[in-house]
Amino acid sequence: MKDIKTAIFIAYKSLVKGSKSTLLLLVFILALSYLNMMFISGILAGLQNVFETTMINVLTSHITVGPEQEPEPKQYILNADQVRRQIESIPGVLATARHYSLAGSISFDKDKNGITKSVSGTIIGIDPIQEEKVLTIYRLLKNGQYLSPTDTDQIIISSALAGGYGVPAPSDLGGVRAKDKVKITYPNGVIRTYTVKGIYDDTIGIFETFITTREAESVLNTYNSASQILVKTDLSLNTLNGYEHKIKLLEPKLKVQNFLDILGTVAAFLNALNLISFIVGFISVLVAAITIFVLVYINAISKARQIGILRAIGIKQRIVVLSYVLQSLFYAFCGVLAGAFLVFAVLTPLLNRYPINIDFGYLSLVHRKMVVVLGTISLVAAGLLAGFVPARIVAKKDILKAIWG
């Protein structure tokens, strides 16, 4: 106890009377490291967030229910409306929508000269009313209008497929706009001509065409079935896995997947982001630790004589070391505080107000609790270690050598 008191006294006086420029430099470096770590992890988490949100909104919703797989894969979920009602009875499920997925080849004669361009893509049959509650395609129209349930000769297509938006791709249709006519050839031989009612901004470059359920059932000759049922949930009430589990209890035979399962490669990409964020954080901590080490070491060496005197008059080595560790703790605390101020009081609110516009959404900083806690702890720990080691090296020196060199 008296050792701690003495160490606190020595540390306090050193901080108050010691070099202010060293103090400022240390705090500055720590604050920057903290900022760097939190900014990179925050922006990557933000990126991931935007990406996932986009996926959920335009492609997969939270959970996708597919047809039976056992004993042999079925093509459709039968009695789809009944299945939907069952799923919707689960607390926290916000809405469901059924999809027919068809393959098809879309042809467009741009210059009306008989030369057509054909592109294959996914054709999805939707009920426009149900769909609005699950996917946000209806809000993403760039051109034209959204489908209504009775449209059988109209479709909407993704901007990537239409072409002429953003980066041109040789494989797109070369610039389809609303009111243009396209021809779709289905695998079962049905060929139909549609008027494009709208073009939606798919934001992630997928080739998709939406037709109405009614039209899909007419092409496929089915009724009240679905290739998938998309389920939108409230994730504040239960987890993704929790909902999955409840749906499986109701519909044990159907194939239930969440959006992460479906987006296999995308999930891998998101994992890569996490890894990058971890590496960047680690390097930040390392750089901070090395800098503190060097500064504390230089500081301790320049005070070797004083340390020698302290030990000569009977101050224990561990008190001297502790006093340095306490000083480092103070630096680390100030650094983290300054860094946290920059991140949470300046940068994050700023980016929330003025998010960065990236192609598929608006990017702002997202801070995961665990990353913040871990980052803070590791930076403080690095600061402590970087203060402890040099202080110990100098305090262990022979007393007379320390005083007279």
Partner 1 sequence: MITVTDLKKTYEGKVPTPALKGISFEIKDGEFVAVMGRSGSGKSTLLHQLGLLDRPTSGKIILNNSDVLALSDQKRTIFRLKELGYVFQEYALISEFDAWENVYLPSLALKGTPDKKRAQELLELVGLADRLDHYPNELSGGEQQRVAIARALINSPKVLFADEPTANLDSASSQTVLKLFLKLNQEFKQTIVMVTHEPEDKKYVHRVLWLSDGLLEKEEKTGKKY
Q: Which residues bind partner 1 (CB under 8 A)?
A: 1-3, 5-6, 9-10, 13-14, 16-18, 306, 309-317, 319, 399-400, 403
Cα atoms found within 13 Å of the Cα of residue 322, Cβ hemisphere only: 15
The nearest distance, CB 334 to partner 1, in angstroms, is: 19
Nearer to partner 1, 312 or 381 (CB): 312
Query: Of 105, 112, 99, nearest to 63 (Cα)?
Result: 99
Nearer to partner 1, 10 or 161 (CB): 10
Cα atoms found within 13 Å of the Cα of residue 217, Cβ hemisphere only: 17
- Helix spans in 18-103 (H): 20-55, 80-88
Greatest Cα pair distance, the chain, in angstroms, is 101
Question: Angle between the 369-395 and 317-340 helix axes, to the nearest 10 degrees?
Answer: 150
Residue 65 three-state SS: strand
Query: Of 159, 274, 256, 153, nearest to 214 (Cα)?
Result: 153
Rounded Cα distance, 104 and 207, in Å: 11
- With 0-12 CB in 10 A as exposed, 13-18 as middle and 19+ as buried, what is 26? buried
The nearest distance, CB 361 to partner 1, in angstroms, is: 54
The nearest distance, CB 397 to partner 1, in angstroms, is: 13
The nearest distance, CB 291 to partner 1, in angstroms, is: 23
Nearer to partner 1, 262 or 309 (CB): 309
- Rounded-to-10 torsion of CA 321, 324, 329, 335: -150
The nearest distance, CB 23 to partner 1, in angstroms, is: 13
Contact 179, 186 (CB under 8 A): no
Query: Of 190, 124, 129, 130, nearest to 155 (Cα)?
Result: 124
The nearest distance, CB 281 to partner 1, in angstroms, is: 36
Nearer to partner 1, 268 or 312 (CB): 312
The nearest distance, CB 18 to partner 1, in angstroms, is: 6
Long-range contacts: 370-373, Cβ < 8 Å, 24+? Answer: 371/38, 371/41, 371/45, 371/277, 371/281, 372/38
Contact 381, 288 (CB under 8 A): no
The nearest distance, CB 396 to partner 1, in angstroms, is: 10
CA 220 distance to own-chain centroid: 38
Nearer to partner 1, 273 or 403 (CB): 403
Query: Of 13, 210, 28, nearest to 104 (Cα)?
Result: 210
Nearer to partner 1, 118 or 302 (CB): 302
Nearer to partner 1, 2 or 369 (CB): 2
Bridge partners (DSSP) of residue 192 are 184
Sort residue 346 into left (φ over 0), alpha (ψ -120 to 50) or beta: alpha
The nearest distance, CB 315 to partner 1, in angstroms, is: 5
Nearer to partner 1, 296 or 343 (CB): 296
The nearest distance, CB 21 to partner 1, in angstroms, is: 15
Nearer to partner 1, 139 or 318 (CB): 318
Cα atoms found within 13 Å of the Cα of residue 372, Cβ hemisphere only: 13
Contact 150, 212 (CB under 8 A): yes
Nearer to partner 1, 323 or 378 (CB): 323
Contact 181, 195 (CB under 8 A): yes
